[in-house]
Amino acid sequence: MSKPIKFSIKKELDGKPGRAGVIETPHGTIHTPAFVSVGTKASVKALTPEQILETGAEVVLANTYHLYLEPGDERVKKFGGLQKFMNWHGPTMTDSGGFQVFSLGAAYGKEISKVVSITDPSQLLSERSLDGEEPRLAKIGQDGVSFRSHHDGTLHYITPEKSIDIQHNLGADVIFAFDECTSPTESYQYQEEALERTHRWAKRSLDHHNSLIRANGGIGPALFGIVQGGREEALRKRSAEFIGGLDFDGFGIGGSFAKEDMETAVKWVNEILPKDKPRHLLGIGEPEDLFMGVENGVDLFDCVAPTRNGRGGTLYTSSGKINVRNAEYREDTGPLDPECGCSVCKNYSRAYLCHLYRAHEMLGGTLGSIHNLYFIINLVKQMRQAILDGNFQEFKTKFLSKYSK
Ligand SMILES: [Zn+2]
């Protein structure tokens, strides 16, 4: 069986696990580290594919749960797959739907008050394209998860095999194994049970994926396994050993993180995962976290924050985030960020952007999303270049001293 993607490392950081590389897919090359733009329902919200390209994006990640319910994976298959359906010609990925099925449905519905070990619960990071529409009443069994659609309340049952079937129908270049994403507020015992379940499901996802590929003459997407384990060192390492030992094409690092736990979790996991396969930190995308991830050997990131913030008027600048709706920008004729090279910063003033948001004009969300995505994608590209040029630490210090002052 020929490999569906090819990953090669071009340069490594001195004394750190960070690396710059290339992932070749049947639909084009991804230069890593890279930020993956999120197009949950086969649409990067408010942007046309032409505008997505303009942000410098090389790859789009859609969501299995949402596309399964609407318009349906069989229908997407009939239209020639995700790329053709949405008119995005570059590489695509689909998340397994595990996170959406579990979020709020199961783990997140429980009282957060039992968390004493997380010093600041407001720092809890939600992740993986949770974009405001969640399933209801998810119920976890040994074989899969039953849940009610957020559209019409119909009952559905997803198993690892079903998730892989749906993802093969959707036709992305990279797909993910079905996993259970636990809240870091769960007990150790629950996290351990959930982890064992995720591991069994990973194996079943891989077996089913391989049988579909064999049946299709050796052709099909790449499959990434997902490491879970919450904030527990022993569980994270056990998960990295188990998932890293299976014949996946790459790996996702999943879980909702308390901000204070993310770095240690990434370090534990990346020390163990095989070096020669790509690693995707799921659902993470704030500048500080991107530096941490890149430095510690993460190759891919995705997050809904740039577009969600963009639609709300919270925009990234080289001097930190601003809310451009604020009255102080009403007469500001300067560009959003003089250091940004995107078309929004070249052509529009802060005053005009401020006006668009205040007037609830749709164009505000489009321009804000173009800028935010460009900003984050370009930041990761600059990190990549800094690895290649051998000045990553200098770039990091310079950027963060201005960004988070
Ligand atoms: Zn810009």
The 10s digit of each residue's pLDDT in 365-382 is 999 999 999 999 999 999
Residues 291-309, mean pLDDT to the nearest whole number: 97
Render pLDDT for 92-135 as a digit per residue (tens, 0 to 9): 999 988 766 665 444 444 433 222 233 444 444 444 444 445 55
Tell me the pLDDT band of 261, cut-offs 50, 70 and 90. Answer: confident
- HSE-CB at 57 with a 13 A cutoff on CA atoms is 34
At 205, the pLDDT band (50, 70, 90 cuts) reads: very high
Q: Of 148 and 36, which is predicted with more confidence?
A: 36
What pLDDT is stored for residue 125 in this prediction? 45
Q: Which residues pair with 158 in a beta bridge?
A: 145
How many angstroms separate the alpha carbon of residue 320 from the centre of ligand 1? 13
pLDDT exceeds 70 at position 190: yes
Give 348 Cα–ligand 1 centroid separation in angstroms: 9
**Count of residues in the chain:** 405
Instruction: Give me the residue spans of the domains in the chain.
Output: 6-303, 313-403
How many Å lie between the centroid of ligand 1 and the Cα of residue 286?
16
CA of 358 to the centre of ligand 1 (A): 19
Ligand 1 centre to CA of 345 (Å) is: 4
Q: Which residues are catalytic?
A: 95, 302
Q: Is the pLDDT of residue 324 over 70?
A: yes
Across the range 283-300, mean pLDDT stands at 96
Distance 312 CA to ligand 1 centre (A): 16
What pLDDT does residue 103 have? 57
Average pLDDT over residues 11-16: 96
Distance 82 CA to ligand 1 centre (A): 28
Distance 334 CA to ligand 1 centre (A): 12
Contact 19, 387 (CB under 8 A): yes
Residue 218 to residue 4: CA distance in whole angstroms: 9
**Quick one: pLDDT band at residue 15, thresholds 50, 70, 90?**
very high
User: What's the confidence (pLDDT) of residue 117?
Assistant: 35
Mean pLDDT, range 21-46, rounded to an integer: 97
Tell me what pLDDT residue 110 has: 41
Residue 224 has pLDDT above 80, yes or no: yes
Mean pLDDT (the chain, rounded): 90
Percent of the chain with pLDDT over 70: 89
Evaluate if residue 29 carries a pLDDT over 50: yes
pLDDT tens track for 301-322: 999 999 999 999 999 999 999 9
Q: How far is the CA of 56 from the centre of ligand 1 (A)?
A: 12
Over residues 340-355, the mean pLDDT reads: 98
- Residue scoring higher pLDDT (185 or 334): 334
- Which residues have CB atoms below 5 A from the ion given as ligand 1? 340, 342, 344-345, 371
At residue 87, the pLDDT reads 97
**What is the C-alpha to C-alpha distance for residues 182 and 167, in angstroms, rounded to an integer?**
22
Quick one: pLDDT at residue 116?
27
Distance between Cα 351 and ligand 1 center (Å): 14
Amino acid 119: pLDDT: 42
Spatial strand order of the sheet with 145-148 comes to 136-140, 145-148, 155-158
Lowest mean pLDDT among 37-41, 78-82, 261-265, 356-360: 261-265
pLDDT beyond 90 at 68: yes
The reported pLDDT for the residue numbered 275 is 97
Write down the pLDDT at residue 137: 55
**Are the CB atoms for 307 and 38 separated by under 8 Å?**
yes
**Ligand 1: centre distance to CA 309 (Å):** 14
**Cα-to-centroid distance, 340 and ligand 1 (Å):** 5
pTM score, whole prediction: 0.92
Fold of the CATH domain 6-303: TIM Barrel (3.20.20)
